[in-house]
Chains A and B, each alone.
Chain A
């Protein structure tokens, strides 16, 4: 099978359309299983009580936020290297979903932090990196919307997302380092060394569910972008609809 033919938007468009329902169904099914395990199988944490159950959305959202940024940067890099339009469209489609998960990771982190540490927010390395990551997602999207020329918008936001990939680990390190200096602010984030197997399982299932959700949503967004950018060709319109449109006038 020749995969390279799907690098053309018009070939990719119907393929993505066929794949989306499968990813969506798997995502919903896994979310159902993960939520059931998280709420009804996983035991109560002896230290944190029931509040720990927030990790079943918090950790998957945080993982997806970082993972999607890296994937976005990879597509941006591929787009720069191969001059492939579809790669840039993928990068464009990933940014909003990544930003959403970053926001959710911050929000659910605050919801977890309040009962666990007694504070909505602490200047911990993970929280700070996540906050900066949100700023970088915003930067990528704002840079794109500020540039009218599509080719330049693609490439400029690609350069910025690649620079950001270097930045996030450095920030993580710098804040961890900074916290060793400011002892007062450091908080142990460990969830306890022994996590029950069912807790871990539920968390992993939710992560895979979020992953499939992201793929489905991103593919759907790529399809929108393809239609918006290459406005004319009606690739997936049913012949009858076109017929009707012609007859209507």
Chain B
């Protein structure tokens, strides 16, 4: 373990800005991708359900 304290860890030997920007950007991109896929799935299934109901509408009338 090379870190004496938490602030030393976050400073990253003076390169904190570069290191944490990289890791944060990667994490945000991944989280965004997962969230976007989640929403895409919800939307697709809502449409699917609407189509199912709409189809039944037609048969009923």
Contacts and interface: CB of A to CB of B under 8 A. Distances in A.
Chain A in direct contact with chain B (Cβ < 8 angstroms)? yes
Interface of A: 39-40, 43-44, 49-51, 53-54, 57-58, 61, 96-97, 100, 103-104, 107-108, 111-112, 114-115, 213, 217, 220-221, 223-224, 227-228, 231-232, 234, 237, 241-242, 245-246, 248-249
A96 B40 CA distance: 14
A54 B40 contact: no
A223 B48 CA distance: 13
Interface string B1-42: 111000001001111001101110110011001100100110
Given A232-B51, A242-B52, 19 more contacts: A39-B9, A49-B13, A49-B14, A50-B15, A54-B18, A61-B26, A96-B33, A97-B33, A104-B25, A107-B22, A108-B25, A217-B34, A227-B41, A227-B48, A228-B47, A234-B49, A237-B49, A246-B56, A249-B56
A115 B40 CA distance: 39
Nearest to A230: B48
Contacts of A58: 22
Interface of B: 1-3, 9, 12-15, 18-19, 21-23, 25-26, 29-30, 33-34, 37, 40-41, 44-45, 47-49, 51-53, 55-57, 60
A216 B2 CA distance: 34
Contacts of A39: 9
A242 B45 CA distance: 12
Contacts of B9: 39
Interface majority SS on A: helix, strand, loop or mixed? Answer: helix
A54 B23 CA distance: 7
